[in-house]
Structure 1
Amino acid sequence: MNFLFCIFLLYVTHKTVESHAHYEVKEAENLFRRLFKLRRVEQLAAVKRIRSLDSEEKQKKMIMTAAEKIFSMLQNNRIILETAGFVPGVSSFPEDEDIRDALSNLLENTALIGDIILRLPEISQSLLSSHNNWVILLSWSLQFANQTDLLDQQTVTLIDLVSQEMNFTARSDNYINPYKYSYRSEKEQEENEIKPLKPKKKNKTKDSRRGPRLSSRGNGEL
């Protein structure tokens, strides 16, 4: 009986520890999702600042600098995740903090470059066309991000739009880049606000004072 009781006690203890560990991982995943959303707000604000720069040359420099860092991060974190054997959609949320950081960095940077591509498509796609290795890495990271179950719906939509914009996936019949056209309307509105108001032209009509006037009728009669 004592032996059976010990076995039972070990079983219960194991289940308790296992349950506690599962709870901690689930809490870590929920925190991961919340922090990801907050980070996305910061990233979007940064992209909007790039878009508001007053010259295309400045925008190009900023995007080039950002892209170099982003794709370096994507490559480094891809190596970490693949080495750890993490498979999106298959592997459970990682318990190891280093793997979590790699996962977070990869998803955040994938979404960030997606924001840049959609909101500044002409500049970003021109840049990507001269860096084929970046295009290949972008295609991989978009697929990776799409296979995880860690993104909010807004980011899932973003990933889908970027994939279509880059022609990684077939474009739907009604595909449109909504950020591209909203940017144009914003710029037009800004330009209209900047234009100085033209002074009103003075009315050059003759004086219409009341009273009798000489008539041109007849022989100079009044």
Structure 2
Amino acid sequence: MNCCHWRRPPSFSFLLVQEFCLVFPIQAMGAPQVCISLLVLFLTLGSTSDTKKQKRDTGFEIYKKLFEVKRKDQISALNNLIELNDVNQQYKIIDIMLKGLFKVLEDSRAVLIAADVQPDGPFPEDDKIKDAYSHTVENSAFFGDVVLRFPKIVHHYFDHNSNWNNLIRWGIGFCNLSGIFDDGPHSQLLGLMAQELGISEKTPDYRNPFKTDHSEFFPNADAFQKALREEEKRRKKEEKRKEIRKGPRITRSRSEL
């Protein structure tokens, strides 16, 4: 068939109207008007639906391109963290990073829920909601990167934090429904993250793609545990210093004044 003469196939709405007109033969003067009115109604509904879909598709496709750029920046930052090759420094940086990440995720969830944003619905137009949408998707993805590259450090923090657990469960669900991870280089990220965190059951063939062997990223487990203990001691000392600084204030009685 010549492509120049290709016609768009009739829509479901048009076929429905056509069937209606065949079932109810034109016997009265008003019948044609009824068919025309129905045709206009269905075409209008179809047009509105197409417009909404087009609006989501346009905004969604633009964001997907921006998301890819953001992902490159995130991976670059993680590679720099890996190259530190210092467990103590990695521990400190990831500690600070995760606290900030989950605070942003929590705030973003509040905005999206308040605005009743559906992940598979029209792409947001309001700047505040768009920011919350992008922060949710990008931070969920970034957390997945951190989990898979630094599983021991992340489990040390994550496994005992129910709030973080609830937040990332919501984030993974939002991302899965958004369609952003349906294909491309990030299509397996959410599933791998969920399995690594124990949110979903590990499949028999589960394998962390960033593991080079069965000894995790830190071949010397004793060195890793030692680094964790040292960091815990440092944090406890820092907390004690803060308490001493805050300490009870000495108040003078009126007689002394």
Same fold at TM > 0.5: yes
Identity among equivalent positions (%) equals 27
Instruction: After superposition, give the CA deviation of every residue in 1:28-56 in whole Å (9 maximum; x if it has no partner).
Output: 22110000011001101111111111310
Per the alignment, residue 155 of structure 1 pairs with 186
Q: How far off its partner does 1:18 sit? A: 9.1
Distance 1:63 1:81, change over 3 A: same
Matches within 5 A, 1:1-40: 23=54, 25-40=56-71
* C-alpha distance in structure 1 between counterparts of 2:173 and 2:116, whole Å: 16
The root-mean-square deviation of aligned C-alpha atoms, in Å, is 3.2
Matches within 5 A, 1:166-181: 166-181=197-212
Per the alignment, residue 77 of structure 1 pairs with 108
Which sections of structure 2, spanning at least 5 residues, go unmatched?
1-40, 220-257
* 1:104 and 2:134 matched: yes
Which sections of structure 1, spanning at least 5 residues, go unmatched?
1-10, 189-222
| Of 45-54 and 111-120, the range deviating more from structure 2 | 45-54
Distance 1:187 1:64, change over 3 A: closer
Distance 1:64 1:174, change over 3 A: same
Per the alignment, residue 117 of structure 1 pairs with 147
Distance 1:20 1:163, change over 3 A: closer
* C-alpha distance in structure 2 between counterparts of 1:186 and 1:71, whole Å: 24
State the SS of the aligned residue for 2:143.
helix
* Number of residue pairs aligned between Structure 1 and Structure 2: 180
Distance 1:98 1:120, change over 3 A: same
* C-alpha distance in structure 2 between counterparts of 1:47 and 1:182, whole Å: 20
TM-score by length of 1: 0.70
Question: What amino acid sits opposite 2:108 in the alignment?
Answer: N
Instruction: After superposition, give the CA deviation of every residue in 1:82-122 in whole Å (9 maximum; x if it has no partner).
Output: 11111223x22223232122111110000001100000111
Per the alignment, residue 238 of structure 2 pairs with none
Q: How far off its partner does 1:187 sit? A: 8.3
* C-alpha distance in structure 1 between counterparts of 2:216 and 2:147, whole Å: 18
Q: How far off its partner does 1:186 sit? A: 8.9
